[in-house]
Amino acid sequence: MQFVRGFFAVSLIVALPVLSACVPAVVVSGAAVGVMSVHDRRSTGVQTDDELTEWKASNRLPQRLANAAHVNFVSYNRVLLITGEAVDEETRAAIGSLAAAVEGVKKVHNELLIAPPSSLASRSNDGLISTKFKARLVESNQLSSNHIKPVTESGTLFLMGLVNEQEARVAVSIARTTDGVRKVVSLFEVLPDTEIRRIDSALLGARPVPPNVAAPVEVRQGAKP
């Protein structure tokens, strides 16, 4: 049973990138949460609040509005992004007002398009674009991909996260040159370098830096060093 649980956690972490970025993040228990949360600049309490915000916004959507739109809610540091398609401006505005009324939401970005609901193929392609962008962030080795939340809708790549100016520039540059991206919208919360360093230091804790010395070698009896 322990092996099954461990295998599930690892499989879930591997599978997450291929899921559409338009789908709200999954609340996962156990080791998987520890791995993902430790590199997140949001506190664990804010991460939980963001998950609850997405859930509340989705569940408060009346059936009449749900039937008239394809809607995704993504919350990051209590900033709520709405993407998808609505049949008319009245529906779009009503969904935005509903989202703004969710407890704890600091700001709402209503990016709903007035258009028919997107196809499954289009949504799958959006998920692929987000995955390619995250992979290119890792390859660049210039900033942690865990600090960036990408959301792709109809080829438009929205970028969320707590970053400094340099990180924002790098992420936007990579996003603009990612295959399939038609437009980039930066929704970053850009913080001063001193604040980013404070947050990162708090995440890492007061861990001493190991001295730069060679490790000792233990020679077992009967073996050659």
For residue range 164-216, what is the model confidence (pLDDT) as tens digits? 999 999 999 999 999 999 999 999 999 999 999 999 998 876 444 444 444 44
Number of domains in the chain: 1
In a domain, 100, yes or no: yes
> 222: pLDDT confidence band, cut at 50, 70 and 90?
low
In a domain, 219, yes or no: no
In a domain, 194, yes or no: yes
In a domain, 34, yes or no: yes
Say if CB 157 and CB 178 are below 8 A apart: yes
In a domain, 139, yes or no: yes
3-class state of residue 52 by DSSP: helix
Cα gap 132→72, rounded to integer Å: 20
In a domain, 220, yes or no: no
Question: Which CATH number does the domain housing residue 104 bear?
Answer: 3.30.1340.30
- List Cα–Cα distances, 50 to 61, 68, 80, 104, in angstroms: 17, 25, 8, 9
For the segment 122-150, what is each residue's pLDDT rounded down to a tens digit? 999 999 999 999 999 999 999 999 999 99
- Counting Cα atoms < 13 Å in the Cβ hemisphere of 200 gives 14
In a domain, 214, yes or no: no
Q: What is the pLDDT of residue 132?
A: 98
In a domain, 42, yes or no: yes
For the segment 79-114, what is each residue's pLDDT rounded down to a tens digit? 999 999 999 999 999 999 999 999 999 999 999 999
> 68: pLDDT confidence band, cut at 50, 70 and 90?
confident
Measured CA angle at 129 (ends 122, 38), to 5 deg? 125
User: Can you give the residue range of the structural domain that contains 34?
Assistant: 19-199
pTM: 0.75
